[in-house]
Structure 1
Amino acid sequence: MDPFVYLNGKHWEIIYCCVCLKSIEKVKRPEMKDKFEFGEQLEYFYPLLDMIFDYLSDKDLDNVMQVKKSWAAVAERILRKRSKPCWVSCYQENGRVLFKDSGNMHFSNGTTAFIFFGKHYNLNEYISLHEEIHSFQQMKFVEYCSREIVSRNINFCVLTCPKVVSYFSQDIEIRNGSIFDTLFLPEIPGIKTIMFNCNFSKLKRNPALLETYIKPNEEVKCLLVFDESDIRSSIDFLFKIILKETTANEIALGGGITHGVKLFKNDPKLTEQIRSRHETFCIAFTKQKGEEPDFQAVSRVIEGNELSRRELNKELMELRKSIVMRSNSIGLRICCQAKRRKGKESLIFNAHFPNTPLFGVEVEGEVGWNSNLPQDKVAEQPESFRPKRCKVLYPKFQYEWSSIFVVITWGNIIEM
C-alpha cells in the first residue's frame, strides 16, 4: 500500500491507501473555449456539434438528421456509439496507473455496468484520488466508481476475483492483469438485462419468488452466476424453473466462485442491495416468449490444464461456428486460477473474434456448459446427472482446470 502524509490541524497523519488513481472526471468532455456563431458556423468548431448532439435523445437525433447531411453524419455516429458496449480498463505499467477505454465511455444509453475487481486490492480500504498535482481525496473504491466511472443513475455490480485479465486489442495487452475492468452494456433491443440475488433454498419452497425478476412470459437466453461457495447442490432448483419450457442447449451459461459480490443501485445515496451468504448473484438476459430479437448468446467449456495451441484453436473455432456474429458483441472468459498455460487463450479468442472485447476473470471454481450445439453433438457432451426428484436431465455444469467462454452478440448480422 502507498502511504500519503497530510496535515490535519497541528498533526501530521499517515494514510495508507490500497491504490492511487488519477481523477478522470475533468477530462470526460473537452472544455468549450472558442467563440462561435450559431447556424452554419456551429459545426466548424469541433467537437462542439458532437458535444451538443450527445445530450439529445435518440428521437431528437432522428429529427436533426433531417436538417442537413453533415448533421446527419454526426447524429448517426452518436447513435452507433450508443448502441455499442463500452469498456474501461485500469492497470499498472512501469509503476504508473493507466486508463484505457473503448472510445465511447460516456455514451448515453448505458443501462448496466459490471466491474471486475482484482483481489489484491481491498474494496474496504481507501484509495487516493489525485485531482491535481498536490491535492488528493480519500474515498472507498465504490464511491470512486460512482463518481468517475459509473457516472449515471444505473445499477452496477462489483465482482471481486483472484485476478482480472481481459483482452481488448493488441495494443492494450495486459499480461499481468488489471486493477479493475468495467463493462457498460447499452439497452439491447428486445432483451432485458436483470441483476439479482437468488436464494435457492427459498426458491425450492416457493418457485414463484423468481417471478420478481423473470416473468412467466419471459425466456432466459443467457445466465451468469457468481457465488462465494459451491453451488453444485442447490442451483438445480433454478434450472428446474428456467428450463421448464426450453433446453440447456438454448441457454448460454457461465460463472464461477469469486471472493465477493456487491450489487449497487447508483442513486444519490449509493444504495447497496444487501446480499446474504445464502444468496447467489445472477445476471440474466431474457426475451419475451414468441419474439425473436436480433440477439444470440453461446457458451463453451474448454477442459484441460495444458492444452496445446492447436487444441485451443480447434475449441475456439467450434465456438465461432456456433454463433452468428452481429454488429455488437462482448465476450467473457471465466478461468480456473490454478490452470497452467492459460495466457494464450485470450490471444486465440481474439484471432477468431477480432472485434469482440473479452473480459477475463479468474475464479476458484468454474460454472458453465456448452450451448447451441448441433443436435448430433448434444449426445457427445460429458456425462449428465439427474438431481433428486427432478425429471429434467441437466448437463454437467461445474468444472475444474477449465475455462468457460460466453459470447453475447446483437444488432445487424455481419456479412462474412
Structure 2
Amino acid sequence: MDITFMVALVIGLALFFDFTNGFHDTANAMATPIATGAIKPKTAVTLAAILNLVGAFLSTEVAKTVSGGIIREGSDSVPITPDIIFAGLMGAILWNMITWLKGLPSSSSHALFGGLIGAAIAGIGFDSVNLETLLQKVILPAIFAPLIAGLVAYLCTRLAYALTSRHDPDTGSKLTQKRGGFRTGQIFTSSLVALAHGTNDAQKTMGIITLVLISAGTQAPGSGPQLWVITACAVAIAVGTYAGGWRIIRTMGSGLTEVKPAQGFAAETSTASAILASSHLGFALSTTQVASGSVIGSGMGRKGTTVRWNLVGKIALGWLFTLPAAGIVGALTALLVKTGVVGVVIAAVAGTAAVMFMFVYSRKSSVGHHNAVEVEEAGQTVRFAKKKALARARAKADQQKDAAKADQQKDAQR
C-alpha cells in the first residue's frame, strides 16, 4: 500500500481517537459541577471544549513521551511502521467506544498505550516496547495517581467541612451551614481541570501523529509535534468534548456518590493539581483515573455520604482490563494488516462497522444533557413539588380566611 495513503489514513484515525478521547473524558472536569448545579450542562461542555482547546497549546512534554518514549522510534532494528500505529489506534478506539457505551470512566490514555503495545509486539516483537519508560511514566502513575488524588480530595473535603461548620455559641447545636460559595468556586476549579486535561490528553494524539510521521521518514526522530499537528489535535479534542459524553457524566456525577458543592470543589482541585503536575513532568497520566479517585475520596470525606463500592469495583475492573483488552485488539489488527492491502481494508471496514453499531445501539437508551445527572433532576423535582405544596397550603389558608370573614359579616348583619 502507498505509504502516503497509509500515513493519511493513520492521521485521520488518530484525530478520530482524539475526538473519542474528548467526549469520553468530558466528565473528568464537568460531571461534579453539573451534579451540584454549579454550571448548566450545555454551558459546562462548551466551557470544557474551549479550555481543552487552549490547554492543548500549553505543553508538549506528554506528546514527546508517546512519540519517543514508550514505542522505540525510527531505529534500524525496530522499524515502527504506519501499519502498526493504525492497528494500535483501532484497539484504542474500540475500547473507548465499548466503555462509553457502558458508561464506565475508563482511561483513553491506557487504551491508546495498550493498543500500541499490542500492535507493536504482534507486528515487530518485544524489542519495540521501551519497558522502562512504560513502567516509570505509565504503569506506576496509573497505580499511585488515583490513590494520591483520592487521599488529597478526602483531606480537602474534611478540611472544607471543618472550616465552614457553624455552631450556636450558647447551646453548641449545629446551625444552618452556608457553603454556597463552593458552588461558585466549582466554576473555577472545573475550568482548571478542563484546561489541565487539554495539556495532558490532547498531547497523546499529537505524539501518535508525530510517531507516524517519524516512521514514514517525513520527520526527524526525537523531534516534537509540528504546529499543524498541535492545532489539528486541539480542535479534534475540543469538538469531542463539546459532544458531551453524557453517559460517563452520569456515572461520575451521580453514580459513584452523591456530590455536594464542597465535595466537588475538593475533588476538582485535587484532580487539576495532579494532572498539571504530570503534564509538567511528561507523565502520560490517566485523567479519568485521577478524576474518579478524587470523586471517591471526596465522597469518603463527607460524613453521611455513601460511596457505591459495587460501581467502584466495576470501574476498577475496567481499568485493569484496559491495557490488555486494547492490546489484544491492537495485536489482532496488526496480524491482519500484515497480510497486505486486503488486511488493512478488512480491518478498517470491520472497525467502522463496530463503531457504527455501538453508536446506533446507544440510541435505544439515549442519555443527553436533559437526563445525564438524575440526582440533580430528582432534586429539582422535589424542590418543585415542595413549592407547589406550599402554594396549595397558602391558597387553602387564604380561602379559610375569606370564609371566616364572610361568616363574620353574616353574623354582623344578623
| TM-score band, normalised by shorter chain | under 0.3
Structure label with greater radius of gyration: 2
Bigger strand share: 1
Of structures 1 and 2, the one scoring higher in RCO (CA 8 A, sep 6+) is 2
Q: Which has the higher helix share?
A: 2
- Using the size of structure 1 for normalisation, the TM-score is 0.20
